[in-house]
């Protein structure tokens, strides 16, 4: 596997893959050979390339990991697919619905597997929670509450607050609650109400949104770049309630699900502990398994999910910016 870019998340990815028996990082690319070379030396990587395309042209590379800024995902996923490389791309996969479609279509055309990197999805915690919901443990889903927030340091230089690179809280923290809500409901919301805080660059830094779905389910989302770190999801059903974190990395004190069963007012919670670890490792191992057992139908389902998530984020941003303009004119 090769890494396109030397972002901080690349370091985390390499560290956890030391535990993998199925993946070996053999190349890294940067726009600067010196940067790629130093990165390769630091992590004992065999090859360093001075451009992303040089890495894609390496016939010994089977797959690539793309942790580039959001605005560059579409271009380099498409080029990787055309180079016949399997692709693990950091979320959000793209900033336009049209780009998402083209990325997946190019991957399918070239018989390569494309995965959007949401490490929480591959956590035993998330897998069990979704299975319990699908098995009807809490009855019919009625409401979903999902949040994610933290404090962004060094706002002037942080990539999360660069408009030209696809910054903003919705494309970062907000993509996670959009994703987990879509995972529970299996569909895009029919109606959206949203409120947001914009900074001096017209970039969203805090968002609250409410969804209504075709089947009557409602959901609430909150995300924030100026908050104590938190990430939780609560799913309320006709016969019970499930609460959990949906973290990329779980530890002994966070790898559990809480469930309230039945309709008794006595609010007793059952705690279910699950295996814990790095979602980056779980994700990478699943990535390899999906390559070995490539399924075009599953790839199409993943494309539809990514399209829904991207469209939902864009809808929220459009509503927020429209409301902000109307408030200014008033």
| 156 has pLDDT over 90 | no
Same domain, 19 and 99: yes
CATH, residue 27: 3.40.50.720
Same domain, 66 and 159: no
Please check whether residue 303 lies inside any domain of the structure. no
Count of structural domains, the chain: 2
CATH, residue 191: 3.30.360.10
The tens digit of pLDDT for each residue in 251-309 reads 999 999 999 998 888 778 899 999 999 999 999 999 999 999 999 999 999 999 999 99
Same domain, 108 and 181: no
256, two tokens: 């559990």
Please check whether residue 52 lies inside any domain of the structure. yes
Same domain, 98 and 130: no
152 Rama class: left (phi>0) / alpha (psi -120 to 50) / beta: beta
Please check whether residue 91 lies inside any domain of the structure. yes
| 187 has pLDDT over 50 | yes
Please check whether residue 294 lies inside any domain of the structure. no
In total, the chain counts a number of residues equal to: 330
- The residue range of the domain holding 146 is 121-283+311-325
Same domain, 138 and 208: yes
Same domain, 150 and 64: no
Domain boundary among the residues 117, 151, 166 is at 117
The tens digit of pLDDT for each residue in 27-45 reads 999 999 999 999 999 999 9
Q: How confident is the model at residue 135 (pLDDT cuts 50, 70, 90)?
A: very high
147 has which bridge partners? 222, 232
Residue 182 contacts by C-beta under 8 Å, 6 or more apart in sequence?
A: 188, 305, 308, 309, 312
Supply the pLDDT for residue 43. 95
Of 195, 249, 197, give the one whose Cα is nearest residue 221. 195
Domain boundary among the residues 117, 140, 166 is at 117
Establish whether the linkage from the previous residue to 92 is cis, with ω within 30° of 0.
Answer: yes
């Amino acid at each position: 596997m090769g890494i396109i870019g030397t972002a901080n998340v690349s370091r985390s990815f390499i560290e956890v893959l030391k535990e993998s028996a199925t993946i070996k990082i053999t190349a890294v690319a940067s726009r600067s050979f010196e940067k790629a070379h130093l990165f390769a030396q630091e992590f004992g990587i065999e090859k360093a390339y001075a451009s992303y395309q040089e890495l894609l042209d390496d016939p010994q590379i089977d797959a690539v990991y793309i942790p580039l800024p959001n605005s560059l995902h579409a271009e380099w996923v498409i080029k990787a697919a055309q180079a016949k490389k399997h692709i693990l791309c950091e979320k959000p996969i793209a900033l336009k619905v049209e780009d998402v479609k083209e990325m997946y279509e190019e991957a399918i055309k070239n018989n390569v597997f494309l995965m959007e990197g949401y490490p929480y999805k591959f956590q035993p915690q998330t897998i069990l929670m979704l299975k319990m919901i699908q098995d009807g443990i809490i009855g019919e889903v009625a409401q979903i509450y999902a949040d994610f927030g933290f404090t962004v340091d060094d706002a002037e230089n942080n990539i999360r607050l660069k408009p030209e690179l696809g910054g903003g809280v919705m494309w970062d923290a907000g993509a996670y609650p959009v994703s987990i809500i879509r995972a529970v409901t299996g569909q895009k919301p029919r109606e959206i109400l949203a409120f947001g805080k914009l900074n001096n660059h017209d970039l969203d830094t805090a968002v609250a949104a409410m969804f209504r779905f075709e089947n009557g389910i409602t959901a609430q989302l909150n995300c924030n770049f100026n908050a104590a770190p938190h990430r939780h999801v609560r799913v309320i059903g006709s016969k019970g309630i499930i609460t959990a974190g949906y973290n990329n990395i779980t530890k002994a004190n966070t790898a559990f699900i809480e469930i309230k069963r039945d309709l008794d007012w006595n609010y007793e919670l059952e705690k279910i502990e699950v295996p814990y670890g790095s979602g980056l490792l779980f994700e990478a191992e699943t990535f390899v398994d999906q390559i070995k057992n490539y399924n075009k139908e599953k790839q199409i389902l993943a494309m539809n999910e990514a399209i829904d998530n991207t469209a939902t984020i864009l809808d929220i941003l459009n509503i927020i910016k429209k409301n902000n303009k109307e408030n200014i004119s008033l």
